[in-house]
Amino acid sequence: MSNATTRATKKPAVPTFAQWSAMLRADIERKAAACGCDVSGLTIEIMTTDNTWGDRTGLVFSGASDEVCERAARFFEAWAGKHLRRMGVVGGYNAQESIGYVGKAYFSRYANGAKGWYVDGRGGNTVDPAAMTVTTYYGYVSHPVEIRTGFATSFVYYPCAE
């Protein structure tokens, strides 16, 4: 009697962020080249898109024109739905699939070194890039030394993240 059927099969390793984001970038570049679109300045960064009850994490695309960045974020939405579950990046309770286009996001950097990406309007905060101001829900106005625009898409939700 063979025990071949009772042996546990080894699951393939889940790719790291660096590995699967390189695959995403290659796919974006290939599709853009087919359309004659330049994406050489496009940057891809990870960000928290919501942290109400846990952390909803996504990618933000910036560094190119708003049109290119928004198209890249929407491309990622479709790409993630096709690839991330199959790769094991999302799925299960601890890394729930939460794929969805978020929209415009702003990067703010302050003189003291504080920096981060924020979804405009989330939590009552608003960003005015022309005036270089960020206004909080409580009405406090801060003046970052840098503001950049990007477009974000969520892909995973970590429930009750600490």
Q: Let me know if residue 11 belongs to a domain.
A: no
Look up tokens 């290939």; give the residue: 30
pLDDT in tens, 51-65: 766 678 889 999 999
Q: Let me know if residue 95 belongs to a domain.
A: yes
**pLDDT band at 4, cuts 50/70/90?**
low
> Are β-strands 146-159 and 141-142 bridged in parallel, bridged antiparallel, or unpaired?
unpaired
Number of domains making up the chain: 1
Section 62-77 average pLDDT: 96
Domain span at 152:
17-106+146-159
Q: Let me know if residue 131 belongs to a domain.
A: no
pLDDT number for residue 2: 53
Q: What gap in Å lies between CA 44 and CA 151, rounded to an integer?
A: 10
pLDDT in tens, 93-120: 777 878 889 999 999 999 999 998 888 7
159: how many CB neighbours lie within 10 A of its CB?
A: 12
How many secondary structure helices (H) and strands (E) does the chain include? 2, 8
Q: Let me know if residue 10 belongs to a domain.
A: no
Q: Let me know if residue 129 belongs to a domain.
A: no
Q: What gap in Å lies between CA 109 and CA 114, rounded to an integer?
A: 6
In this structure, are residues 33 and 68 in contact, taking their beta carbons and an 8 Å threshold?
A: no
Q: Let me know if residue 33 belongs to a domain.
A: yes
Q: Let me know if residue 24 belongs to a domain.
A: yes
Is this structure's pTM higher than 0.85? no
Look up tokens 């970052």; give the residue: 144
DSSP 25-92: HHHHHHHHHHHT---TT-EEEEEEEE-SSEEEEEEEEESS-HHHHHHHHHHHHHHHHHHHHHHTSS-S
Look up tokens 């969520």; give the residue: 154
